[in-house]
Amino acid sequence: MKKLLTLLGSVSLVATTAQMAVACSTNYDKKDKDGNSILIQFLQSINGKAQISTNDILVKLINAENGPKNKEKLTLDLLKMINLSILANSDKNTDLINDKNIYTNYDLSTILKDRWSALNDAVDRQISSEKDKYKKDKGKKWEKEWNKMLVNKYSVYQDDVKSMDKDFLENKYKSDILLSDANNNASKTLLDILINTDQMGVTWISSNDIVKKYSSLERIVKATDANDSSIANYLRTDLDQLSQIKNSVEKDTNNWEQTKINSSMSDKELADKAREVINDTNITREKIQYDAPVNLNNFTVSDTNSSRAGFLSNSQRFFLDKWYNTQAPLAISEVVIPFSEGGTFDKGFTKNSFMSKDKQDESKTNNLLKAAVDTTYGDASWNRWMIAGKADYREDATVKHYDKLMTLSNSTDFTQDMRTVVYDYVLGGNEKNGIALPLDETTKAPTVESLIDKISRKKGTEKNFYAYNDKGQVFYVDASGLHIVKIDRYDLLNKTATDKKGIKQEGLDGTKINSNTTNELNTFKNFNKLKPEQKVEELQNISNAEKEKEGSYYRSLNSTVKNDYLHYLVNTSMLKGLSGSASSFDIMTEVKKWAQVSSTASDSSSTYWMTCVLDYFFEISIGTEKNLSQEQFIQNYVEFGKSDNSTTQETIDKTKDWFDSQVRTKQSWIGQSSSRAFYSANNKWADEIEAKTDASNYPKKTIKNTWYDGEIVTKVDEKFWKPTNDVTVSKAKSNKKTSETNQQISRNYNLVYTNIENSYAFYKNGGAK
**Each residue's pLDDT tens digit, 464-496:** 999 999 999 999 999 999 999 999 999 999 988
Please report the pLDDT score of residue 21 as a whole number: 26
Q: Does residue 306 lie within any of the structural domains?
A: no
Domain end (from 274, 293, 312): 293
Residue 280 shares a structural domain with residue 338 = no
pLDDT (0 to 100) of residue 758? 47
Is there a domain that residue 388 lies in?
yes
Q: What is the pLDDT of residue 725?
A: 81
The length of the chain is 769
Share of the chain above pLDDT 70, in %: 83
Q: What are 575-621's pLDDT values in tens digits?
A: 999 999 999 999 999 999 999 887 554 444 456 888 999 999 999 99
DSSP string, 627-685: T--HHHHHTTTEEE---SSHHHHHHHHHHHHHHHHHHHHHHHHHHHHHHHHHHHHHHHH
Burial of residue 506 (number of CB atoms within 10 Å: 0-12, 13-18, 19+): middle
Domain span including residue 73? 2-185+608-664+754-767
Q: pLDDT tens for residues 364-382?
A: 999 999 999 999 988 999 9
139, 237: one domain = no
Q: Report in angstroms the alpha-carbon separations of 612 from 132, 616, 663.
A: 37, 6, 11
Instruction: Establish how many alpha carbons lie within 13 A of residue 95's alpha carbon, considering only the half-sphere containing its beta carbon.
Output: 6
- Greater pLDDT, 530 or 61: 530
Taking the C-alpha atoms of residue 244 and residue 397, their distance in angstroms, rounded to an integer, is 56
173 and 41 together in one domain:
yes
pLDDT tens, 709-750? 889 999 999 999 999 886 433 333 333 343 444 444 444 444
Q: Which residues of 428-451 are buried (b: 16+ CB within 10 A; e: fewer)?
A: beeebbbbebbbbeeeebbbbbbb
The string of pLDDT tens digits covering residues 312-368 is: 999 999 999 999 999 999 999 999 999 999 899 988 999 999 999 888 999 999 999
User: For the residues 62-67, what does the mean pLDDT come to?
Assistant: 47
Are 145 and 243 found together in one domain? no
Burial of residue 644 (CB within 10 Å: 0-12, 13-18, 19+) is exposed
- The predicted-structure confidence for 416-472, as pLDDT tens digits, reads as follows 999 999 999 999 999 999 999 999 999 999 999 999 999 999 999 999 999 999 999
427, 458, 488 - which closes a domain: 488
Bridge partners (DSSP) listed for residue 509: 512
- Give the pLDDT band of residue 524 (cuts 50, 70, 90): very high
Q: In whole angstroms, what is the distance from residue 594 CA to residue 183 CA?
A: 18
In a domain, 262, yes or no: yes
For the residues 381-389, what does the mean pLDDT come to? 96
Q: Is residue 246 part of a domain?
A: yes
Q: What is the pLDDT of residue 69?
A: 57
Q: Indicate whether 372 and 443 sit together in one domain.
A: yes
For residue 642, is pLDDT > 90?
Answer: no
**Residues 40 and 98 reside in one and the same domain:** yes
The mean per-residue pLDDT over the stretch 264-282 comes to 97
Res. 306: pLDDT tops 70? yes
Assess whether pLDDT exceeds 80 at residue 636: yes
Distance CA 585, CA 577 (A): 9
- Sheet containing strand 332-337, strands side by side: 398-401, 332-337, 481-487, 473-478, 466-468, 434-436
Residue 363 phi/psi, 5° resolution? -65, -45
- pLDDT at residue 227, as a whole number: 93
Q: What kind and span of H or E run contains 523?
A: helix 515-528
144: in domain? yes
pLDDT band at 676 (very low <50, low <70, confident <90, very high): very high
Does any domain span residue 556? no
Sign of CA dihedral 608, 611, 614, 615: negative
Rounded Cα distance, 40 and 453, in Å: 67
Least Cα distance to 388 among 199, 252, 547, 581 occurs for 581
Min mean pLDDT across 33-42, 387-396, 642-651, 720-729 is at 33-42
Q: Kindly state whether residue 442 falls inside one of the protein's structural domains.
A: yes
Angle, vertex CA 205, rays to CA 204 and CA 207, nearest 5? 125
Whether residues 238 and 149 fall in one domain: no
d(CA 336, CA 319): 35
If asked whether residues 481 and 421 sit together in one domain, one would say yes
Of the residues 488, 523, 538, which one is the last residue of a structural domain? 488
Total count of domains within the chain = 3
160 in the same domain as 245: no
pLDDT of residue 52: 52
Domain match, 346 and 395 both: yes
Residue 391 has pLDDT above 60, yes or no: yes
- pTM for the complete prediction? 0.87
Question: What confidence score (pLDDT) does residue 171 get?
Answer: 78
Is the residue at 509 inside a domain? Answer: no
Our measurement of the distance from residue 284's CA atom to the centroid of its chain's CA atoms, rounded to an integer in Å, reads 47
Q: What is the pLDDT of residue 30?
A: 33
pLDDT, averaged across the chain: 84
Question: pLDDT tens for residues 4-17?
Answer: 222 222 222 222 22
Q: What is the mean pLDDT of residues 240-251?
A: 98
Same domain, 392 and 482: yes
pLDDT of residue 116: 92
- For residues 6 and 61, state if they share a domain: yes
